[in-house]
Amino acid sequence: MTTLLWFRQDLRLADNPALVDAADHGPVLPVYVLDEEAGGWALGGASRWWLHGSLAALAKALGGLHLARGDARAIIPALAKKAGANRIVWNRCYEPAAIARDTALKEALAKDGFAVKSFNSALLFEPWEIETQSGGPFKVFTPFWNALKKRTPAGPLAAPDAIDLALLEGSDSLEDWALRPAAPDWAKGWSTLWTPGEAGAGDRLAAFLDEGLCGYGEGRDRPDRTHVSRLSPHLHFGEMSPRRIWYAVHQASDRDPALAADGWKFLSELAWREFAAHLLYHFPTLPQENWRTAFDAYPWHDDATGLEAWQRGRTGYPFVDAGMRELWQTGYMHNRVRMVAASFLIKHLRVHWREGEAWFWDTLVDADLANNAAGWQWVAGSGADASPYFRIFNPVSQGGKFDPDGAYVRRWCPELADLPDEHVHAPFEAPASVLEAAGIILGKTYPAPIVEHRNARAAALEGYEAVKAAKE
Ligand code: FAD
């Protein structure tokens, strides 16, 4: 009998437990359903771009993939009946809407006589497996990481040797879904930056282990260097399993013990991803609501002009602008710059973190409900184990520290390319003669700062008084 294999955020063949299970039981109908409602978090533009490439790569690797669009709760049973399948399998997703949908669907399918099985493929451990000693969820990262480190994740599974495909007529065409932009094609050139799909993920991991891992601990904070893995979109779409990364890093450190410290640092970053999934599982309102409810009292500022300047990379603070332009032009922003740019929106402009979360959701190729919500609430100070609200990043000194020669800023803000290093993070403090020599007219060729750092900082801290006065 045929098994219907429902692909979701697991778009790969290797270490895919649902695929292994399906292939072991006879013919397989592989299905992907484009559900555009997705519990209020419809795919953003950059994610749609990625998904197109990932599905094309998966269909090619499998030899065929049935595509359907609409409500999975109706589509999956209908396709299973049409295929004469008696089993339905998938790998679990952990977003609140996905959990609700899958639980209801599992019940309905079981009532209809289907055998239904689900697996973990997205995380090192299930979000409920790591618990405090008293049996509850962790709210602080370090003890979570200490608990995770004591366990050994299951070893990655090999891709099945052979898959007996049982394809149906009537699949949608990927092109008809129009996931990629046409007019205008704002993602022009992205195919030279990214290779969605399992093979691209494997190449990325191999390149990182060869060139990025050594020195990651220190280099990961430098956007002007190439020490990060850029595996985040591959992880989000499940083209690479975290277990495979875990074991590959250990093997690299076993071969070269000098890599051990950098290896553990990298794995601890991977554990932040697990922590975010853990938080979202236990606190499903994380994407919408302040985790620390005292932040409900914060006097947010309704500033459409400031928000737009931030989105366009025109705040007048080069480190922030470089990050926002990197995001717009590539679908990615380096983590250090994400923190500084997010802090600028929340603290310098006092715009609600949800506005930034929504912009990132639309523009990041790695947009991920758990990581994005946890990241924004961490910066806002409203989240679990968050950065204290009163720690307000100074975009000028952050630039000077993490992009000391201004190479990152010059790359994304080319109009500042001719400024000497000491002024590249604060053109507004450069003498007129220096600006003139660099061909810069502030307010014309590059924006004047939209807020003054010291005043903005004071206003943010004043707003924080309301949080301090509010009860949790
Ligand atoms: P590496 O340094 O190579 O890290 C390896 C992997 O570890 C990453 O691919 C990622 O899966 C995980 N990881 C690293 N740092 C974090 C972190 N702080 N939180 C959770 N996981 C982490 N990450 C997303 O994947 N999707 C998002 O939507 C997202 N939104 C963010 C929003 C804000 C405001 C902030 C501050 C961070 C956000 N992050 C998000 C986390 C982090 O910035 C990215 O995971 C990281 O920059 C991805 O680049 P990389 O793969 O080169 O990272």
Q: What is the pLDDT of residues 101-122, one digit of tens each?
A: 999 999 999 999 999 999 999 9
Contact yes or no for 393/339 (Cβ under 8 A): yes
Distance CA 218, CA 265 (A): 10
In tens, the pLDDT along 374-410 reads 999 999 999 988 788 888 999 999 999 999 999 999 9
Query: To the nearest whole number, what is the mean pLDDT of the chain?
Result: 96
Q: Is 203 a residue whose pLDDT tops 90?
A: yes
Ligand 1 atom with the shortest distance to the CA of 372? 30
| pLDDT at residue 38 tops 70 | no
Token code pair at residue 89: 């399998």
DSSP track, 99-149: HHHHHHHHHHHHHTT-EEEEE--SSSS-TTTS--TTSS---SHHHHHHHHH
Tell whether ligand 1 has an atom less than 6 A from the beta carbon of residue 41.
no
Q: Are 358 and 337 in contact (CB under 8 A)?
A: no
Closest by CA to 149, choosing from 47, 248, 274, is 274
- pLDDT at site 66: 98
State the average pLDDT over residues 264-288.
98
Binding site membership of 341 for ligand 1 (Cβ less than 6 Å) = no
- Is the C-beta atom of 2 inside 6 A of ligand 1? no
DSSP-derived pairing of the beta strands 2-7 and 85-91: parallel
Phi (first) and psi of residue 33, to 5 degrees: -115, 125
Partners of 7 in the β-ladder: 32
Residue among 361, 371, 382, 387 whose CB has most ligand 1 atoms within 8 A, to mutate: 371
Beta strand 66-69 with 2-7: parallel, antiparallel or unpaired?
Answer: unpaired
The residues facing 396 across adjacent strands are none
Residue owning the nearest CA to atom 48 of ligand 1: 232
pLDDT value for 389: 83
Cβ-proximal residues to 295 (8 Å cutoff; 6+ apart), any chain: 380, 381, 382, 467, 470
* Catalytic residue, candidates 145, 246, 310, 353: 353
Q: Among the atoms of ligand 1, which is closest to the Cα of residue 234?
A: 9
Distance between Cα 202 and ligand 1 center (Å): 18
The answer, yes or no, to whether residue 292 has pLDDT greater than 70, is: yes
* 3-state DSSP assignment of residue 358: helix
Nearest Cα neighbor of 409 from 304, 308, 326 is 326
Specify burial of residue 68 (Cβ count, 10 A radius: 0-12, 13-18, 19+).
Answer: buried
Report how far residue 93's alpha carbon sits from residue 225's, in angstroms, rounded to the nearest whole number.
33
> Contact 102/92 with Cβ under 8 angstroms?
yes
- pLDDT mean over 282-310: 96
Gyration radius (Cα) of the chain, Å: 24
For residue 27, is the peptide bond before it cis, meaning its omega torsion is within 30 degrees of 0?
A: no
Average pLDDT, stretch 233-257?
Answer: 98
pLDDT of residue 213: 97
- Would you state the pLDDT for residue 471? 72
pLDDT over threshold 80, residue 123: yes
Token pair recorded at residue 198: 């399992």
Chain centre to alpha carbon of residue 210: 23
Q: What is the mean pLDDT of residues 307-315?
A: 98
The closest residue, in CA terms, to atom 8 on ligand 1 is 232
- Tens-digit pLDDT profile for residues 315-360: 999 999 999 999 999 999 999 999 999 999 999 999 999 999 999 9
